[in-house]
């Protein structure tokens, strides 16, 4: 984490809620009489009952985003061999959220035992679950086999052998997808395309390891090769990155048909679809645009090679969970710090920070915020929102034009915190992790209750 680098004073305020899909706020967020509400519930009422910090998910909004992916993929691939959408559970998973995904017709992409168990508690059977990970444990593999997961996404030759062995010992056949690396890496605005693969995930197409793995699966009596998988990164805005990777995967598939006379039935294009965190972020392509482009690539490839149409799946996480959630914080201490030329920056401390949102510290991500208990004022002040942790990099919002009359006790709402917020939360400084609330039609309820000091001490055998 870069520290104390002099950054210019930037004055950007967050846009007010607009009830639009592309906006920064969930679609059922409004400001009325000065107070922001979520799913028809005033944030002031939520905070009075549930305290801060707290994550609040607009249930209707999250379901709508899931449904929109599902419908877009169904429409784009209806004239091919169909499509599935697997919600990437690592973005945020609870039994309640898994139930919403099941009701909206999505599968779940898991990568640990607890994620698998959470999905089953929401009523999922194996058919709509996938198991990921670059170091699956014997316990995870065994449990996934018992569940009959739709597929294991295999990440290495060693893992291929391990899954084959465990399946054989249990007299079972494991359906596998092979995660291949295409040389395309993407994230944010940029993507790079290289021939080498210096990263921990996947089986390289260019070096021939992917091809070797395909042959090895075909030789293993306890494995069935159902598909190829490619996930190129996260927060990707550039649709060309997906195109380039998809071309490589489709090329490998037709080579295998040609050389080995084996028709690989499925292709999974992974996740990574970008969302907006601040008003200066570009508006990303819609699910319909992504789905249309993917279908176009698949159609072109099968026309050129004469291969059959594959069944296609994708695994969006962030683009379903991220925009549906806001974090509510209470303002504590406020401090004006001189920086240069008689200018100052206002530091507003809130009651959470890097323990409930690690993304600014981990990735340098930027967020924004609005005061939600009172109307926003005309006059703004150059502000930085910081957490309460013992780290100077504990920043929630780097640069913000915030109401000049902000005071202790005000409530701030930070949008787009639904993905990789609670799921990456920690107990740093022994802060209890905030709970997650679902708001819908004027009602709120816990999805995951907040931790308290006893929860933390329960694990301490000397307490």
Ligand X SMILES: *Cc1c(COP(=O)(O)O)cnc(C)c1O
Residues that bind ligand X (CB under 6 A): 88, 90-91, 109, 132, 231, 234, 270-273, 315-319, 419
Q: Which residue, 319 or 417, has its beta carbon nearer to ligand X?
A: 319
CB count in 10 Å sphere of residue 131: 29
| Cα–Cα dist 289/312, whole Å | 16
d(CA 295, CA 81): 10
Nearer to ligand X, 77 or 273 (CB): 273
Residue nearer to ligand X on the CB measure, 77 or 92: 92
CA angle 199, 205, 211 (to 5 degrees): 125
Please, what is the end-to-end C-alpha distance for the chain in angstroms? 34
Tell me how far, at minimum, the Cβ of 160 lies from ligand X, in Å. Answer: 17
What residues form DSSP beta bridges with 326? 56, 415
Backbone torsions φ then ψ of 74, nearest 5 degrees: -60, -45
Query: Nearest approach, Cβ of 145 to ligand X (angstroms)?
Result: 20
Q: Smallest distance from the beta carbon of 234 to ligand X, in angstroms?
A: 4
Pairing of strands 54-58, 83-88: unpaired
**Exposed, middle or buried, 203 (CB in 10 Å: 0-12/13-18/19+)?**
buried
Q: Between residues 271 and 353, which has the closer beta carbon with respect to ligand X? A: 271
Identity of the residue, 249 or 419, whose beta carbon is nearer to ligand X in the bound complex: 419
Rounded least distance, CB 34 to ligand X, Å: 34
d(C-alpha 44, C-alpha 330), whole Å: 11
In the complex with ligand X, the residue whose CB is nearer, 252 or 386, is: 252
Nearest to 110 by CA among 127, 94, 133: 133
Least distance to ligand X, CB of residue 315, Å = 4
Nearer to ligand X, 286 or 429 (CB): 286
Q: How far is the CB of 7 from ligand X (least distance, A)?
A: 27
CA atoms within 13 A on the CB side of 233: 22
- The Cα-based distances of 170 to 79, 110, 400 in angstroms read 39, 22, 57
Q: Which of 111, 372, 390, 450 is catalytic?
A: 390
Q: Which residues of 49-84 are buried (b: 16+ CB within 10 A; e: fewer)?
A: ebebbbbbbbbbbbbbbbbbbbbbbeebbeebbebb
CA separation for the pair 236, 254 (Å, rounded): 27
390 is known as an active-site residue:
yes
Least distance between ligand X and beta carbon 277 (Å): 13
- Closer residue to ligand X, CB minimum distance, 85 or 214: 85
Q: How far is the CB of 132 from ligand X (least distance, A)?
A: 5
Any idea which residues carry the catalytic annotation?
A: 390
């Amino acid at each position: 984490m870069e520290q104390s680098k002099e950054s210019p004073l930037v004055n950007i305020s967050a846009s007010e809620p607009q009830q639009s899909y592309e906006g920064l706020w969930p679609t059922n967020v409004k400001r009325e009489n000065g107070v922001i509400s979520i799913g028809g519930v005033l944030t002031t009422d939520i905070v009075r009952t549930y305290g801060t910090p707290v994550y609040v998910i607009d249930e209707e909004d999250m379901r709508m985003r899931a449904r929109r992916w599902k419908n877009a993929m169904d429409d784009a691939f209806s004239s091919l061999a169909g499509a599935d959408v697997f919600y990437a559970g690592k973005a945020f998973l609870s039994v309640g959220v898994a139930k919403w995904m099941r009701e909206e017709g999505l599968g779940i992409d898991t990568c640990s035992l607890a994620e698998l168990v959470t999905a089953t508690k929401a009523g999922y059977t194996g058919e709509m679950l996938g198991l990921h990970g670059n170091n699956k444990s014997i316990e995870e593999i065994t449990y996934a086999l018992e569940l009959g997961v739709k597929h294991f996404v295999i990440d290495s030759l060693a893992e291929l052998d391990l899954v084959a062995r465990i399946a054989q010992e249990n007299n079972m056949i494991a359906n596998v997808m092979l995660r291949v690396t295409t040389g395309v890496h993407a994230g944010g605005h940029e993507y790079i395309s290289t021939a080498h693969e210096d990263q921990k995930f996947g089986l390289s197409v260019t070096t021939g390891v992917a091809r070797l793995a395909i042959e090895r699966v075909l030789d293993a009596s306890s494995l069935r090769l159902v598909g190829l998988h490619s996930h190129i990164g996260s927060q990707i805005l550039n649709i060309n990155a997906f195109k380039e990777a998809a071309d490589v995967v489709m090329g490998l598939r037709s080579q295998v048909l040609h050389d080995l006379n084996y028709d690989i039935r499925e292709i999974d294009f992974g996740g990574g679809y970008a969302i907006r965190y601040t008003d200066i972020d570009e508006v990303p392509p819609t699910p319909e645009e992504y789905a249309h482009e993917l279908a176009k690539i698949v159609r072109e490839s099968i026309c050129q090679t004469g291969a059959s149409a594959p069944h296609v799946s994708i695994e969006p996480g962030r683009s379903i969970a991220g925009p549906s959630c806001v974090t509510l914080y209470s303002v504590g201490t406020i401090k004006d710090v001189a920086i240069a030329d008689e200018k100052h920056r206002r530091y507003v401390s809130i009651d959470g920070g890097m323990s409930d949102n690690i993304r600014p510290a981990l990735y340098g991500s930027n967020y924004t915020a609005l005061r939600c208990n009172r109307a926003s004022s005309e006059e703004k002040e150059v502000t930085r929102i910081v957490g309460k942790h013992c780290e100077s990099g504990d920043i929630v919002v780097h640069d913000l034009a915030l109401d000049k009359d902000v005071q202790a006790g005000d409530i701030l709402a930070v949008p787009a915190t639904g993905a990789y917020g609670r799921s990456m939360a920690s107990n740093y400084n022994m802060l209890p992790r905030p709970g997650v609330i679902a708001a819908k039609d004027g009602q709120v309820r816990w999805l995951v209750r907040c931790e308290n000091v006893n929860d933390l001490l329960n694990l301490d055998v000397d307490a």
